[in-house]
A and B are shown apart, each in its own frame.
Chain A
């Protein structure tokens, strides 16, 4: 197998605090690889180590064929990075930003012109070259930042929460672009806390409190990481029902989704009837109950709760 990134026991400590704790994973060439986790879980720290922004406390990773510990400079030519925070010059025009970063990557002359046009095209900013970057609205700034991050056609693209604070339509466009880069052979590593975005990824890892707690493609995660069956219950009073269900011994997880409740039962409880019976026994009226395929959200809530239980045991 051909890997773009191989991380082995990556660890980053800030004083006593371990932000990333011995994380290992492999990213295949050309795939879209998702990093999921809550805020502060260590996603950004991991990505920053892979980009050479932070030095790992221990462990190593090979990015594009070079070790981030031993040859960080060589890594840099083949990667593109888009920070969570807008990081182009607000006091330069769009054109000046593109030209400056292009030049820093060693592009010049006709090639630079060509790439500039391409960046303007993919970020949908043709005709606005002379606009001051600081005057652009947030979503458009993000597009420009993405365009600048790929100006040198990197083999590997790191996107740190590229869609946070972006409206749904821009977000959709963003993912179209990401898919396009992936089709062209670019490996894309993206962090997000939007679960629906995780569905667009070929592979994902879930990080919690600095530790990797699950990995695989979204489909596999849904089937393998939950040892049980998922049901959806519709009711008028979900909060009360949740309290009742939590007491049931055959139930692993209960979570609330508006007027619906998702329940994960132990493996042997396969039929909705048993659940319905339990509710009637407790004199609770439910509208409808259906067996479902667990969503990623179910999986993550399940994993996060188990993760935290494990952490307590350790």
Chain B
């Protein structure tokens, strides 16, 4: 092998694509699955609480109590599932999951308000889904507070005080995601996730496949060098990864209407860096595994699951316990999700995200280096 350097890499890449061509179904799955999954997950991965089912026990049955219930229903967050006469039914409804909230209005509700005695409503919340429960509870509290306020103002007015009362008002402006839709927050993360899954999984099989079929043995006795093989494996998958980025982000932009606010160039650059680290992880797994099955298991349980949990994709890192927070520092997906959420939603660029970008680049380089080193050893 004299000065055959990059030509061999090209031939290796040609071979990889020839093999890919033999398996068009696989290629279709690789490209179509992420698109479909982005669409499905885009609708599925939401923490928005919109339709809270509740049961009502109105012991007062007065015009005031009806007005109060109307306010709750008209808020749009609640659906009345049952109007009952006894308390047990409410208990059962919550136990069976028919309702998340039970609302009990006491007797003399109207009278006590009229007579200035003050009154209480009882709200029972199904706390087993803590997130949904607390959001629903928050909604009801806000509605109740607003209702109490109108009652109060009404009374003041009736007592002849004409001057409008002034107190504190929070004027809230929500930036980046004004409707507070989780989808806007989640979809960029989903695209990152899918990119990671496909690139890691495919490369984790890349070398071990040759090992399993015995072709690696034939390659090792040729003058091909480890770096030529690694590049020959990485470049086709990088291309595939870039095509995936285009597809998945097109879905995000055109299907879900979430535009990339920041620089496209930086976005691609960061994606490329991220792919390098996922490819590196995949290759590393591939060099240490003996069979494809082994590689797949290690990839799924050793790499992908922890990456998903610890990346901040689902659970905010700030809420994790301190030790786990330290662990998240070694998760490339964490930095990439920070970057793409920043670029897509906030429109910020490398000036604000240089640290994450740098870490991602270093991680990619390190893991690729380790994979190459490990691979070299295997060649002996």
Chain A contact residues, CB within 8 Å of chain B:
51-55, 73, 76-77, 79-81, 83, 85-92, 96, 100-101, 103-106, 108, 132, 148
**Is there contact, CB below 8 Å, between A52 and B380?**
yes
> Any chain A CB within 8 A of the CB of B214?
yes
- A11→B18 CA distance, assembly (Å): 40
Nearest residue (CB) in B for A79 is B221
**Is there contact, CB below 8 Å, between B215 and A89?**
yes
Chain B 9-22 interface 0/1 with A at a Cβ cutoff of 8 Å (1 = within): 00110110011001
Contacts of A103 in B (CB 8 A): 7-8, 11
The 5 closest A-B pairs by CB, nearest first: A103-B11, A87-B214, A87-B218, A81-B221, A55-B380
- A108→B4 CA distance, assembly (Å): 11
**Is there contact, CB below 8 Å, between A92 and B214?**
no
Nearest residue (CB) in A for B22 is A91
- A64→B132 CA distance, assembly (Å): 74
> Any chain A CB within 8 A of the CB of B321?
no
Can you list 29 A-B pairs with a CB-CB distance of less than 8 A? A51-B220, A51-B221, A53-B380, A55-B380, A76-B1, A76-B223, A77-B1, A81-B221, A83-B214, A83-B218, A85-B214, A85-B217, A87-B217, A88-B218, A89-B215, A92-B15, A92-B18, A96-B15, A96-B18, A100-B11, A101-B222, A103-B8, A103-B11, A104-B8, A104-B224, A105-B222, A105-B223, A106-B2, A132-B22
Contacts of B8 in A (CB 8 A): 103-104, 106
CB within 8 Å of A: which B212-230 residues: 213-215, 217-225
> Any chain A CB within 8 A of the CB of B23?
yes
What is the CB-to-nearest-CB distance from A90 to chain B, in angstroms, rounded to a whole number? 7
Contacts of A77 in B (CB 8 A): 1, 223
Chain B 305-319 interface 0/1 with A at a Cβ cutoff of 8 Å (1 = within): 000000000000000
**Is there contact, CB below 8 Å, between A83 and B217?**
yes
With beta carbons under 8 angstroms apart, the residue of B4, B213, B218, B221 that contacts A106 is B4
**Is there contact, CB below 8 Å, between A53 and B214?**
no
- A106→B228 CA distance, assembly (Å): 13
- A54→B220 CA distance, assembly (Å): 10
Contacts of A87 in B (CB 8 A): 213-215, 217-218
CB within 8 Å of A: which B197-245 residues: 213-215, 217-225
Q: How many residues of B contact A (CB 8 A)?
A: 26
What is the CB-to-nearest-CB distance from B287 to chain A, in angstroms, rounded to a whole number? 16
- A80→B1 CA distance, assembly (Å): 14
Known: A92-B15, A104-B12, A108-B7. 9 other contacts (CB 8 A): A53-B220, A80-B221, A83-B217, A85-B217, A86-B214, A89-B19, A101-B218, A105-B223, A106-B223
Chain B contact residues, CB within 8 Å of chain A:
1-2, 4, 7-8, 11-12, 14-15, 18-19, 22-23, 213-215, 217-225, 380
**Is there contact, CB below 8 Å, between B222 and A92?**
no
Contacts of B19 in A (CB 8 A): 89, 91-92
What is the CB-to-nearest-CB distance from A102 to chain B, in angstroms, rounded to a whole number? 9
**Is there contact, CB below 8 Å, between A104 and B221?**
no
- A148→B11 CA distance, assembly (Å): 16
**Is there contact, CB below 8 Å, between B218 and A73?**
no
- A83→B215 CA distance, assembly (Å): 10
What is the CB-to-nearest-CB distance from B346 to chain A, in angstroms, rounded to a whole number? 46
Instruction: Specify which of B12, B18, B214, B218 lies most central, judged by the most chain A CB atoms within 10 Å of its CB.
Output: B218
| Given A53-B220, A96-B15, A88:B1 Cβ within 8 A | no
Contacts of A53 in B (CB 8 A): 217, 220-221, 380
Contacts of A96 in B (CB 8 A): 15, 18
With beta carbons under 8 angstroms apart, the residue of A76, A89, A91, A100 that contacts B221 is A76
**Is there contact, CB below 8 Å, between B23 and A91?**
yes
- A132→B223 CA distance, assembly (Å): 25
Contacts of A81 in B (CB 8 A): 218, 221
- A52→B378 CA distance, assembly (Å): 11
Contacts of B217 in A (CB 8 A): 53, 83, 85, 87
Contacts of B1 in A (CB 8 A): 73, 76-77, 106
Contacts of B213 in A (CB 8 A): 87, 89-90
Contacts of B2 in A (CB 8 A): 106
**Is there contact, CB below 8 Å, between A104 and B214?**
no
What is the CB-to-nearest-CB distance from B217 to chain A, in angstroms, rounded to a whole number? 5
